[in-house]
Structure 1
Amino acid sequence: MPVDATPDPYADSIRFGQRLQILRTRRGLTRDGLGGLVGRSGSWVKGLETGRLKTPKLEVVLRLAEVLRVQNLSDLTGDQAPLSLFTGPGHPCLAAVAAAVNAFALTVDAEAPSAAHIQARLSKAWAARHSAPNHRAVLGGLLPGLIRDAQMAVRQSDRAEQRRAAQAALSQTYSLAQFFLAYQPEPALLWRVAERGMVAAQESEDPHTIGIAAWLTAQAHRDAGPGHFDAADTVTREAIIFLDPLLSDADDDVLAVAGALRFEAGYTAARRGESGTAWRHWDRAASMARRLPESYYHPVTSFSQAIMGAHAVTIAVELHAGGESVRQAAASDAATIPSRPRRARHRIEEARAYQLDGQADVALATLEQAHAAAPETIAYNGYAKRIILEEAESRVPARRQRAAGLAVKLGLLAA
C-alpha cells in the first residue's frame, strides 16, 4: 500500500482508536460531532483515537457503531467482537431472489403474463407482507416468480402503452424486493435492485411508480451514512418537485407517496441534527396525511394518518431528544398501524426513545412487543440488537435476564 494511502480499518493490525478515526472521517464527522452524538466530548473521542483512553465498554462501542453505521461490529473493534450489528442474517430465500434478479434470460419461450396480472399478484404480495410475522419468508417465496414474469413482460411488450405498464409493474416488483433485501448481507444486490427500479419507474412515466422508486432510493442513500445524505436529499427534492404540480387533483396513492417523500426529507434532516428543518417537513407530511381518508394506508410506504405518530417518534429519536421521544411515543398508538412489520418497527423506535430517556426496562418490554408483532423485523434491526446487547450487560439482574432472553430469541446469544 502506498505510504500516503488511507489505511484500511478492517486490517487486523489496526487498533480500535485508529479504526474509530478512519470510520469517523469516512462518515464526514468531526470529533465534536461524533462525541455529541454519543453524549461525550470531542476530547474524549480524541483520547480514544490517540490511544490515551482504553477501548470503552460494550454499551459505548455499540453506540459508536450505531452512529457510524458500521455494517459489522468487527469493522470497528477488529477480531474482538465479530458480531453483525446493522446487517441481519442471510435469509434462506436470499439465493433464489438473487438468482432471479441476476438472470439474463433472453430466449424464454413462455408467454409473459399481462402487467395487470402482475399488479394483482403484487397487491396480494403486499397484503401478505403486512399481515405475516415472517414477512421475509413470504416475500422470499413470491419474489423469484414475480421478478421473472415482470422482466419477461417488459421484454415481450410491443406497444408503447403496454411497455409503460410493464415497466411500472417491474419497478414495483423491484420495490418489493428492496424490502426483502434490506439489512441482509448483500448491499451490492440491494443497490442493483434500487437502480433498476428507478430506471424502470422513469420508463413507466407513472407518477405513483416514480414516487415509490424515489422514496426507496432516498432511503438507501440515507442508510449508507452521512456521506450520502446529500444524495438522499437530491432524490427526495427532485421527486417532490416532480409530484407537487400533480397534487391538486391527484388520487390517494399519489398524494400518499408525495407525503411519504416529505417525511423522508425530514428523516434525513433529523439524521443531520437539523431539528427545525426536520419538524417542518414532518408538519408538511402531516398536513398531506390529513387529506387522505382516515382508513387509508399506502401499501408500500405505509403513509397514512395512522403512521404520522410513529413518524414523529422517529424524528425525535434521530434528533436524540430523549424526553421529546418519550412524549411522542406516549402520544402515538401502534395498535392503529395495520402492518405487522411496520408496527414492529414502530415498537423498536419507541424502545430507542425509552432508552434515550433512561427507561431501560420499558425499552426491553417494548422490544418484546416488537418481537411478538414481527420476529423477522427485530432480527434484522441493528438498533434493537444494540439495545438488547447493551442491557444484557446490565448490573440489574432482572434486566440482564430479560435482555438475555431476547438475545437468545434473536440468535445473538446461545440458548
Structure 2
Amino acid sequence: MTHPDSIPADLSTGERIQLLRESRGMTRPVLAGLCGRGPDWLKKIESGARELRSHTLLLRLAAALQLSDLSMITGDSSDVTQPVPQGRLSHPAMPAIWSAVMSRPLAPAAAEPPDMAVLQGRVDQTWQLWHTSKRQRTEVGALLPDLIRQAEAATRTAEDNQRRRALVALSDVYRLVGQATAYVAPAELAWVAADRALSSAQEADDPAAIAAAAWNMGNILRETAYPEEALRVVVEAASLIRPHLDGAPDDWRGVYGALHLHAAVTCARDGRDGDAWRHWDAGDQVAKSLPAAYVHPSTVFGRANVDFHGVSVATDLRQNGTALSRSDEIDPDVMPSLERRSRLWVEVARGHLQRGDRTAALHVMGIAREISHETVAYTPSARAVAADLWRKAPRAFRSEAADLAEAIGVSAP
C-alpha cells in the first residue's frame, strides 16, 4: 500500500486515486463498483476529465481504498487528520464470537474423546439454521461460540481417523463463522477464521473440505479487494478436486460447481464478461449432472443457485436487461436458503436501479427485507440500494424509501 509521504505533492485528486488504486492491485471496475459507480466514471475522475466535487463520493472512495485519512486523496497539506468512516457494521453476537476465536487454548484440555457423529450433526444443523432463519446472524451467532470451543476441543482429544473427522468439522465451523460475521467482523478475525478453515481441511487431507474452505477463503479475498487472489484460490481448488469427482459423492461435485460460480461472480465484478459466463456455464453443467432437487448443504449449490448466480453475474456486468429477463424466469421459492433468496431480490433491485426504475427497485427491496431483514441490513449491496432509494426515490415513494432506510440503519447524506 502506498505510504502518504511517497505521494508527490503536485498530483491531482484523480491522479492520487489512480496511484492508490493501483498500489492495492485494484481494477477500475472493482473500485468503481464499491462506490456504486461505473468504470467510465472513475476513468474520467482519474484522468481529470471530470472533477470530483462530492464529499460523499470522496469518502466512499477513501473507504473502498481502506484509507484512514481523506487527505491522502485530497492532498490537503494541513496537519489536521480527515478521518474516514470505514462503515464497519456491528452485531451484538460479535464479542462472544471474537472471544471464542481469539482465545483458543494452546494446551489440550483433559476430556473424553468426542462423539463425532453428534458434533458433526450440530454443525450441519447450524448450517441449516443459517439458510432457513430470517434472523440468521442473530440465531447462528448465538450458537457459534460454544460450537467453536467444542470443535476445537475435539481436534485435541480425538485420535486417528476420528481426528480427521474432527478437523473437517472444525473447518466447517470456521466457514460458518466467515458467513455469519461477514461485514461485521474486524478484518483480523475474518482472516483468522478463513485461514483456520483452510488449514484444518488441509490437515484432514479431505479434498471436499479443502475445496469448501477455498470457496470460503475466496469470499474473504474478494470482499477485501483482492479479486485476482480470490480467483486464483477458487480456480486452483477446482483443479485439485476435479480428478476426484468420478464416482464421488454428490456433495463433492456440489462444491466443485460452487467454486465455478464463485469465479463467475469474481470475474463479473472485474468486468471480464467472457470469463464470467465461461465459469457460470461450467457451474451450469455441474448442476445438470446432479439430481434436479440436489442442494449442497453449506454453499446451497444446485439448480436454483446456478440460476440465481446468472442474475448476479449479469447485474455485476451491468447487463441489466439480461439480469431482469433471467430473474423473470426464476421461481424464488425453489431456493431453500432464505438468505440467498433475499439476496436475489437485492440483485433484481440493483438491475432496476441500473435502468433508472427506482419504483420497481423499492418494491423488490421490500420483498427482500420481508424474506430476511438481516440479509438486507447486513449486506453492503443491499444497503447501497436502500441509500440510493432514500436519496432519489420518486416523490410519491419517499416516505416508503425513508422507512426502508431507517429500518436497516442506513443514513444517506
5 Å-filtered alignment, 1:98-113, equals 98-105=98-105, 106=107, 108-113=109-114
Q: Is 2:364 the partner of 1:363?
A: no
* Residue type at the aligned position of 1:194: A
Structure 1 residue 20: Cα displacement = 3.9
* Residue type at the aligned position of 2:21: R
Let me know the Cα RMSD of the aligned residues: 3.1
* Residue type at the aligned position of 1:314: S
CA–CA distance in 2 between the matches of 1:395 and 1:182? 28
What residue is the counterpart of 1:247 in the other structure? 245
Match of 1:385 among 376, 383, 386: 383
What residue is the counterpart of 2:92 in the other structure? 92
CA–CA distance in 2 between the matches of 1:100 and 1:30? 36
CA–CA distance in 2 between the matches of 1:413 and 1:4? 33
Structure 1 residue 306: Cα displacement = 1.2
Give SS of 1:217's match: helix
* Change in CA separation of 1:210 and 1:399 when aligned onto 2, cut-off 3 Å: same
CA contact (8 A) 1:170 1:197 kept: yes
Match of 1:277 among 267, 271, 275: 275
CA contact (8 A) 2:211 2:256 kept: yes
CA–CA distance in 2 between the matches of 1:30 and 1:115? 45
* Change in CA separation of 1:5 and 1:82 when aligned onto 2, cut-off 3 Å: same
* Residue type at the aligned position of 1:406: L
Q: Is 2:138 the partner of 1:137?
A: yes
* Change in CA separation of 1:53 and 1:195 when aligned onto 2, cut-off 3 Å: same
* Residue type at the aligned position of 2:97: V
What residue is the counterpart of 1:114 in the other structure? 115
Deviates more, 1:163-172 or 1:330-339: 330-339
CA–CA distance in 2 between the matches of 1:218 and 1:268? 9
* Change in CA separation of 1:34 and 1:128 when aligned onto 2, cut-off 3 Å: closer
CA–CA distance in 1 between the matches of 2:198 and 2:335? 28
5 Å-filtered alignment, 1:72-83, equals 82=85
What residue is the counterpart of 1:397 in the other structure? 395
CA–CA distance in 2 between the matches of 1:16 and 1:410? 33
* Change in CA separation of 1:212 and 1:391 when aligned onto 2, cut-off 3 Å: same
CA–CA distance in 2 between the matches of 1:206 and 1:153? 17
Match of 2:320 among 319, 322, 325: 322
* Change in CA separation of 1:189 and 1:31 when aligned onto 2, cut-off 3 Å: closer
What residue is the counterpart of 1:158 in the other structure? 159
Give SS of 1:349's match: helix
**Cα deviation 1:127-179 (Å, max 9, x = unaligned):** 211111110111111111111111111111232x1221111111111111111
Q: TM-score, normalising length from structure 1?
A: 0.86
CA–CA distance in 1 between the matches of 2:393 and 2:233? 45
* Residue type at the aligned position of 2:276: A
CA contact (8 A) 1:72 1:82 kept: no
* Change in CA separation of 1:256 and 1:81 when aligned onto 2, cut-off 3 Å: same
* Residue type at the aligned position of 1:312: G
What residue is the counterpart of 2:22 in the other structure? 25
5 Å-filtered alignment, 1:331-342, equals 331-342=329-340
CA–CA distance in 2 between the matches of 1:310 and 1:30? 25
Deviates more, 1:389-398 or 1:145-154: 389-398
Structure 1 residue 71: Cα displacement = 6.3
CA contact (8 A) 1:112 1:152 kept: no
* Residue type at the aligned position of 1:389: A
* Change in CA separation of 1:397 and 1:135 when aligned onto 2, cut-off 3 Å: same
CA contact (8 A) 2:31 2:61 kept: no
Structure 1 residue 382: Cα displacement = 1.3
CA–CA distance in 2 between the matches of 1:142 and 1:207? 27
CA–CA distance in 2 between the matches of 1:332 and 1:296? 17
Structure 1 residue 402: Cα displacement = 2.2
CA contact (8 A) 2:197 2:213 kept: yes
Structure 1 residue 216: Cα displacement = 0.7
What residue is the counterpart of 1:198 in the other structure? 198
* Residue type at the aligned position of 1:394: K
Identity of aligned residues (%): 33
CA–CA distance in 1 between the matches of 2:26 and 2:197? 31
What residue is the counterpart of 1:345 in the other structure? 343
What residue is the counterpart of 1:11 in the other structure? none
**Cα deviation 1:84-143 (Å, max 9, x = unaligned):** 2xx4x2211111111111123225334352222211001111121111111011111111
CA contact (8 A) 2:15 2:46 kept: no
- Identify unmatched segments of 5+ residues in structure 1: 8-13
* Change in CA separation of 1:26 and 1:112 when aligned onto 2, cut-off 3 Å: farther
Deviates more, 1:324-333 or 1:253-262: 324-333
**Cα deviation 1:199-258 (Å, max 9, x = unaligned):** 000111122211110111112111221xx2221122112211111112121111101000
* Residue type at the aligned position of 1:91: H
* Residue type at the aligned position of 2:314: A
* Change in CA separation of 1:93 and 1:41 when aligned onto 2, cut-off 3 Å: closer
CA–CA distance in 1 between the matches of 2:45 and 2:94? 41
CA contact (8 A) 1:202 1:210 kept: yes
The structure whose RCO (Cα within 8 Å, separation 6+) is larger is: 1
What residue is the counterpart of 2:229 in the other structure? 231
